[in-house]
Amino acid sequence: MISTFRRFLDTWIARAFFGVMVIAFVIWGVGDVVRRIGTSSYLVKVGGEEISPGAFNQIFERDLAIAEERLPEGRNVTAALRRQVAKAALDQQIAQIALQQELRRLRIAAPDAAVRQTVFAMPAFQGPGGVYDPAKLTAALANNGITQDRFLGMVRGQIAQQQLTSALIAGLAPPAELVDRLYRFAAEIRTAEMAVVPFAAAPPPPAPDAAALRRWYADHPWLYRIPAYRTIRVVAVTGASVAATVHVTPAQVAAYYQAHKASYVAPEKRALHVLVLHDAKQAASLATQWRGGADWATMQAAAKKDGGTAVAMAPASAKGMPDPALAKAAFATGQGDVGGPVVTPLGAVIFQVTRVVSGGNQTLAQATPAITAELRTNAADSRLYDVVHQVNDVLGTGAGLGKLPGDLGLIAAEGTLDAKGDTPEGAKAPLPGPAALTGAIVKAAFAAAPGTPPAELREVALPLGGGTAYFALTVTKVTKPGEKPFAAVKDQVTAQWTAARRRKEAERVATQVLTSVQGGATFAHAAAIAALAVQPTPPLSRERPTAGVPDPLRAAIFGLKRVGEPTMVQTATGFVVAVLTGITPPDPARHPKQIAALSTVLTQSLAQDVAAGFAASLRARAHPYVDHAQFESFVNNGQ
């Protein structure tokens, strides 16, 4: 049996069978690896550094939320906006990594003293009198979810970038000829004479006959259109409307006050004079000098000599101090005493307590209004969903809006509006709730089938953390768009026909004056024939408007080529004919300050162009690779 099997193994059939088996096992064994080819665990790789999908998602969601807040009321995030935000965020991250790699390659770094001085000088962290307030820094970091170490790292990176950018743009200056030409163009002064032909001054035409009015009415249908209107009944409910129904008793207020009494206690605060040094040895030496009786001015000079930083800190609580170790030491030191050194992320710190501000308590009576509002809001947040369920239970039966209970905090309204939310009288419809809710109501009103009772409340997310609102509506009447009957608008048609004829007559007179001047007549003679008064304009500039001279005329005058050339423009009230009377070129030599200011603006523009070009070259050199499949998932997610 075994010998027979061995002979079978030597045949081509057995060899082919085992060959197929080997190929199958190879494919099964490496199948996962093969399937992974073309995929990656990162979204983008820049010069060996990777950005993971999770890290990019945080940046993308933050930027998308900011973009959504900037949208006009009633506008939603579109796929195009998601793509735009994602592309901008990705480009920014690639540029940032490429720049950081270049900083490391060039060994550019920011010293600790520069970081301290930058943070202390930031206006956002300064209190009254320009004094650094650590509480503002602590609050800003907490509100943005950033640790102090991360923030200091961001500042350090920004300073290093500024060093590199400063080196790139050092010595940039626009050519003197360019500055001279631009200044001569912008600072040129022109004068003119002008004559005004008001529409209202034109003689009224003969009274139109019925046929003329009918023809005007037929030729201008858009002036007499009636938009589509819908008459609706709507019920809305918001957290604020529910809160208005919540009754808060004095006992509840007192209980809340006792449970949160620590919130109504003003903590003790301390004001400090702070010196930040590079190391503890320097700090200890200066602390000895300070304790020996040296004043603040002397200590500031000594710290500056050793490369340190001096800061006067406004009164702050322990939680408001920029570092826990500094806070602990400060609140263990008496007024007028010197403490430290304390090692912090900013350096070795010594300080003097210049003022102690005692804490205090807010009484129950003082806190009652705020506590009452807080309790109502808290109760409304939990009660809102119960109200929604109760309303939906009624609407689900088909009972309609008329059967809803009246004690749930519902807001009811009824009226007629168009697709813009305006009433037939032209005023805004008095819909309930904030703009996001009213916009949703108007949109739903023109999408709902007439006469259909709502089956449930619709949910509307309010922007900027405003919570959620709900509404339901019924369309009781639909007014189709159309044209106002001629009889109803006959007076309006007559007024508009008459105004058009006067405007045409004013245009004829102005054109006649313009043609006469172009034919060689003087402006004064041509205007006198038309019974028009000629008046000189004030000196005109390209840079700023001139009182009494319409902007269209000013632009037209600067478009003329030579003195004596006429022009004509139409304004909201008539036509204006003008003739250029003078061109005064500026003398750059007499205005060195303006030349210097223009040169500064051009230099800044050149610097921006150089920086942008440098960033583009860094990106190209880093050869960023983007996993487009993962990028598309950010764009298309939720679509």
With 90 as the cut, is the pLDDT of residue 76 above it?
no
Where a domain ends, among 480, 503, 538? 480
**Residue 509 is assigned to a structural domain of this protein:** yes
Q: The CATH number of the domain where 579 resides is what?
A: 3.10.50
Per-residue pLDDT, 13: 54
Segment 451-468 mean pLDDT: 82
**Residue 432 is assigned to a structural domain of this protein:** yes
**Biggest alpha carbon distance in the chain?**
132
Q: Domain check: are 497 and 569 in the same one?
A: yes
Q: Which of 249-263, 265-279, 435-449 has the highest mean pLDDT?
A: 435-449
Q: Domain check: are 463 and 512 in the same one?
A: no
Which is more confidently placed, 7 or 293?
A: 293
Spatial CA neighbour of 472 closest among 532, 410, 422:
410
Segment 408-423 mean pLDDT: 90
Q: Domain check: are 273 and 345 in the same one?
A: yes
Segment 180-202 mean pLDDT: 92
The Cα–Cα gap between 619 and 99 comes to: 8
Q: Domain check: are 284 and 238 in the same one?
A: no
Angle at CA 64, nearest 5°, toward 59 and 65? 100
Q: Domain check: are 165 and 141 in the same one?
A: yes
pLDDT in tens, 417-438: 999 999 988 888 988 888 888 9
Q: Domain check: are 447 and 505 in the same one?
A: no
Where a domain ends, among 303, 334, 358? 358
Segment 141-151 mean pLDDT: 71
The Cα–Cα gap between 148 and 223 comes to: 63
pLDDT in tens, 616-626: 888 788 788 88
β-bridge pairing 574-584 and 189-198: antiparallel
Q: Domain check: are 470 and 519 in the same one?
A: no
pLDDT in tens, 325-346: 888 999 999 999 999 898 887 7
The Cα–Cα gap between 226 and 219 comes to: 16
pLDDT in tens, 349-367: 999 999 988 877 778 888 8
Q: Domain check: are 474 and 494 in the same one?
A: no
Q: Domain check: are 279 and 298 in the same one?
A: yes
With 70 as the cut, is the pLDDT of residue 23 above it?
no
**Residue 381 is assigned to a structural domain of this protein:** no
User: What percent of the chain stands above pLDDT 70?
Assistant: 89
Segment 221-248 mean pLDDT: 89
Q: Which domain holds residue 118?
A: 112-128+136-169
Segment 480-506 mean pLDDT: 92
**Residue 106 is assigned to a structural domain of this protein:** no
Where a domain ends, among 422, 446, 480? 480
Q: Domain check: are 563 and 511 in the same one?
A: yes
Which is more confidently placed, 428 or 465?
A: 428
Q: Domain check: are 290 and 341 in the same one?
A: yes
**Residue 452 is assigned to a structural domain of this protein:** yes
How is residue 491 annotated by DSSP?
H
Q: What is the dihedral of CA 53, 59, 60, 65, to 10 degrees?
A: 150
How is residue 426 annotated by DSSP?
S
Q: Which two tokens stand for residue 495?
A: 């007024």
With 90 as the cut, is the pLDDT of residue 70 above it?
no
Per-residue pLDDT, 352: 94
Q: Burial-class residue 274 by CB neighbours within 10 Å (0-12, 13-18, 19+).
A: buried
Q: Is the dihedral of CA 479, 482, 488, 492 positive or negative?
A: positive
Contact 238, 388 (CB under 8 A): no
The Cα–Cα gap between 417 and 372 comes to: 38
Q: Domain check: are 330 and 402 in the same one?
A: no
Per-residue pLDDT, 71: 67
Instruction: Specify the number of domains making up the chain.
Output: 5
Contact 236, 432 (CB under 8 A): yes
**Residue 273 is assigned to a structural domain of this protein:** yes
pLDDT in tens, 80-120: 778 888 888 888 888 888 888 888 888 888 787 778 788 88
**Residue 275 is assigned to a structural domain of this protein:** yes
**Residue 365 is assigned to a structural domain of this protein:** no
The Cα–Cα gap between 218 and 633 comes to: 54
In 49-95, at which residue ranges do the beta strands (DSSP E only) sit? 49-51
ω into 341 cis (within 30 of 0): yes
